[in-house]
């Protein structure tokens, strides 16, 4: 695929956040990132979404970005597959897996924010959530 900076950011995030997941799990994580880009509640580019809060150790939106470890891609075959799937979504493929989720976490943790949002799906080792829209009273 033609590789631009936004696509590289998406592929890097999916690699570090979900490389151990199957294809569907990796697509779901990519969906969340793109759903955030489309939301007015988050930055308006993939790279900005990924790096939000990255300067705060263990307090960022995507944990690989602020865990103090270097981001080194060792599994080139896995990364190349993730780059291809990221390209499909980046070019506008339908996002049907997460129900509009803009948050996710590993099932091995229970962040305090998880009770504040509506759970939309469980895919692989991740749980997905969206901001529930409240209906206005008439």
Q: What is the pLDDT of residue 58?
A: 61
C-alpha 135/C-alpha 114 separation (Å) is 21
What is the pTM assigned to this prediction? 0.88
In DSSP terms, 105 is beta-bridged to 127
Cα dihedral sign, 12-18-19-25: negative
What lies within 8 Å, CB to CB, of 63 at 6+ separation is 17
In DSSP terms, 82 is beta-bridged to none
The string of pLDDT tens digits covering residues 55-67 is 666 667 888 887 7
Q: Is the pLDDT of residue 40 over 70?
A: yes
In DSSP terms, 118 is beta-bridged to 130
Q: What is the pLDDT of residue 96?
A: 93
Instruction: Give one word for 55, left, alpha or beta, with left for phi > 0 and alpha for psi -120 to 50.
Output: alpha
Least confident of 11-15, 110-114, 122-126: 110-114
Closest by CA to 10, choosing from 65, 74, 87, is 87
Q: What is the pLDDT of residue 64?
A: 84
Q: What is the pLDDT of residue 69?
A: 85
């Amino acid at each position: 695929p033609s590789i631009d900076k936004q696509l590289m950011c998406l592929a890097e995030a999916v690699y570090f956040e979900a490389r151990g997941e199957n294809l569907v799990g990796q697509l779901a994580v990519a969906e969340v990132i793109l759903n955030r880009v489309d939301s007015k509640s988050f930055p308006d580019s993939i790279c900005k979404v990924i790096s939000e809060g990255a300067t705060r150790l263990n307090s960022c939106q995507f944990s690989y970005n602020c865990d103090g470890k270097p981001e080194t891609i060792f599994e080139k075959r896995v990364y190349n597959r993730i780059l291809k799937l990221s390209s499909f979504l980046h070019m506008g493929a339908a996002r049907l897996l997460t129900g509009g989720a803009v948050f996710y976490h590993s099932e091995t943790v229970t962040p305090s924010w998880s009770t504040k949002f509506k759970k939309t799906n469980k895919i692989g080792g991740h749980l997905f959530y969206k901001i529930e829209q409240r209906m206005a009273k008439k």
